[in-house]
Chains A and B, each alone.
Chain A
């Protein structure tokens, strides 16, 4: 009985996709499901699985494993998935340092890698690869969008990030488009959770706005302390620090914060409505930008698998590159370096009933490309 049901579902999805291709696809999902960063990985996994479920894609098999946010473990799992599980596609990694460890090796072995989140600059530029597709963004994008937006209202911004490559990249990205003066540029310790010293500097700096890139617990801690300190200068940041997964923990302190992202739950298109609705129904919470990116990744695989066999790498690659799927971000296409060309929005944290969430208040860039595509020779 179940088999018949599955078969008819499969039939449905195939007819929906138009062109039938029966070759099953095996996807290896490596993501962070344990430890402090697990919230992001769980959202990505859930978004990805939801895409397959909504598309009725029973011919796509997924093996999922936890990388515990450790690069060595991620490498080991990737080796296992390639050598033992014989997957065709790898995906799921959240963190840039893990992506840097896994992606070059995986694509060198002829596998496809589709990034649901991390987009380190090296992989977008010189070390780009035809089998590496980033469905999310290049790391600098959200920061660039905020730098561009800040030009409108602010002349003297205080900028801050953790002292590691993603942090320096973030501030570089911001400065690439920001034309005003910097009231200060501060790098904090990775994993730092007390920002009293930095907040005192912000207060004393005479800034008219503050831009921070502090992912995860660091951002929660900073935003709460910043609101409590009563400094009151407008706070700006990339969407990561004010994404749905952390808003509940920040609480009302996040209200009014402007942040940039490629997606928000109120983005007006059919695919997004269905995504938000089904995600809430399935998991009982609002999706984050990580879930949205993973959902798009799932749909991208479904669309490519309907066009070409994954065993025919060239045809499958071409099908991926076409990106003919209904993105929850509205329009979506790949640049020459297989990174997205997409619109970037500025969102504001608002309260809907009891729930904190993001609302789009403006567009920062339309059809934005990353700064590294020109270094990519493919």
Chain B
């Protein structure tokens, strides 16, 4: 096992983590400010990917597609917030889970109705094709490096937005005391719609970026959604910092687990048996990590007030 391979795998874990962060940041913001648990966040991810694929196919430009994914996901988010989500803020979590579960069904079948049952095509833009050489003889794909870059920019941007701007101040106020900001004369309805659309846009961005690597198809959002929930629960629900740390932790643990566990089990069980058993344990690994963390820190690593 060479150093190059290990560096590459760590980068893979980081890239996976960054992608999860884009999903988890929106989820955790929405929970932190509005107290809402949104299962339909994966659908917004799917909408971003579909919008990007459709626009990129029509115009031939990935970048226009990327812009479209932000717009489409934000618009869908705002629309859903105004039509449905708004009525759920003062409901208990049970109603929220159920209503957003219903939204998943509606979005998934709706997308299939509009775009058909066959997966769509989306490729990475020509400038980002190819790989670069890194220290220690490692090769790494340029596009994945770019995703890591996007993640860092988004994380920094969110930090600045929340700590330095008026909107951020309101978000912080909303996280600590919902009644108070209404009393301060902030138009709370607009604030909520904006925050929801922001979270949706981040999910859409993630969907578009990942859609170019994977496949753009109905149902692509739910597996990522569940991982994003694991991330925010590990990080502490409502905390953007927690989402970042949790996402990278989950990304790296999952990637290294998939890579190392089969080798580890192969030592005891032989190659074929070890490969299947190792893979089985690897697929459960992040849930085990989550259970362990919550057993000791029931509110996650960086608990915001909940």
| Residues of chain A whose beta carbon lies under 8 Å from any beta carbon of chain B | 33-36, 38-39, 42, 163, 168, 182, 185-191, 193-194, 196-198, 200-201, 203-204, 217, 220-221, 224-225, 228-230, 245-246, 248-253
B121 at the interface (CB under 8 A from A): yes
| CB-defined contacts of B215 to chain A, threshold 8 Å | 193, 217, 220-221, 224, 246, 249
Q: How would residues 223 to 258 of chain B score, 1 for a CB under 8 Å from any chain A CB and 0 otherwise? A: 100000000000000000000000000000001001
Q: Are A201 and B124 in contact (CB under 8 A)?
A: no
Q: How far is the CA of A188 from the CA of B276 in the complex (A)?
A: 9
Find the B residue at minimum CB distance from A245: B118
Q: Which of A38, A185, A187 has the most CB of B within 10 A?
A: A187
Q: How far is the CA of A220 from the CA of B1 in the complex (A)?
A: 28
Can you sample 24 A-B contacts with CB below 8 Å?
A: A36-B219, A38-B218, A168-B276, A185-B272, A186-B275, A187-B278, A193-B214, A194-B213, A196-B16, A200-B12, A203-B5, A204-B5, A217-B215, A217-B220, A220-B119, A221-B214, A224-B214, A225-B214, A229-B131, A246-B118, A248-B119, A248-B121, A249-B217, A253-B123
Label chain B's interface by main secondary structure: helix
| CB-defined contacts of A201 to chain B, threshold 8 Å | 5, 259
Q: How far is the CA of A197 from the CA of B276 in the complex (A)?
A: 16
B112 at the interface (CB under 8 A from A): yes
Count of chain A to chain B residue pairs whose CB atoms are closer than 8 Å in the complex = 129
| CB-defined contacts of A253 to chain B, threshold 8 Å | 123
B50 at the interface (CB under 8 A from A): no
Find the B residue at minimum CB distance from A248: B121
B17 to chain A, nearest CB (A): 11
Specify which of B108, B214, B280 is in contact with A217 (CB 8 Å cutoff): B214
Q: How far is the CA of A249 from the CA of B5 in the complex (A)?
A: 30
Q: Which of B24-32, B73-81, B82-90, B136-144 contacts A (4 or more CB under 8 A)?
A: B136-144
| CB-defined contacts of A188 to chain B, threshold 8 Å | 258, 279
Specify which of A189, A248, A252 is in contact with B118 (CB 8 Å cutoff): A248
Q: How far is the CA of A364 from the CA of B35 in the complex (A)?
A: 60
A247 to chain B, nearest CB (A): 9
Chain B contacts with A in 154-213, Cβ cutoff 8 A: 210, 212-213
Q: Are B283 and A189 in contact (CB under 8 A)?
A: yes
Q: Are A35 and B218 in contact (CB under 8 A)?
A: yes
Label chain A's interface by main secondary structure: helix
- On whether A203 and B139 interact (CB within 8 A), knowing A187-B276, A191-B223, A221-B213, the answer reads yes
Q: Are A163 and B276 in contact (CB under 8 A)?
A: yes
| CB-defined contacts of B255 to chain A, threshold 8 Å | 196-197
B40 to chain A, nearest CB (A): 16
Find the A residue at minimum CB distance from B4: A204
B49 to chain A, nearest CB (A): 11
Q: Are A194 and B16 in contact (CB under 8 A)?
A: yes
| CB-defined contacts of A194 to chain B, threshold 8 Å | 16, 210, 213-214
Q: Are B129 and A228 in contact (CB under 8 A)?
A: yes
Chain B contacts with A in 248-290, Cβ cutoff 8 A: 255, 258-259, 262, 271-272, 275-276, 278-280, 282-283
| CB-defined contacts of A248 to chain B, threshold 8 Å | 118-121
Specify which of A38, A163, A196, A221 is in contact with B117 (CB 8 Å cutoff): A38
Q: Are B220 and A193 in contact (CB under 8 A)?
A: yes
Q: How far is the CA of A193 from the CA of B46 in the complex (A)?
A: 14
B34 at the interface (CB under 8 A from A): no
Q: Are A39 and B118 in contact (CB under 8 A)?
A: yes
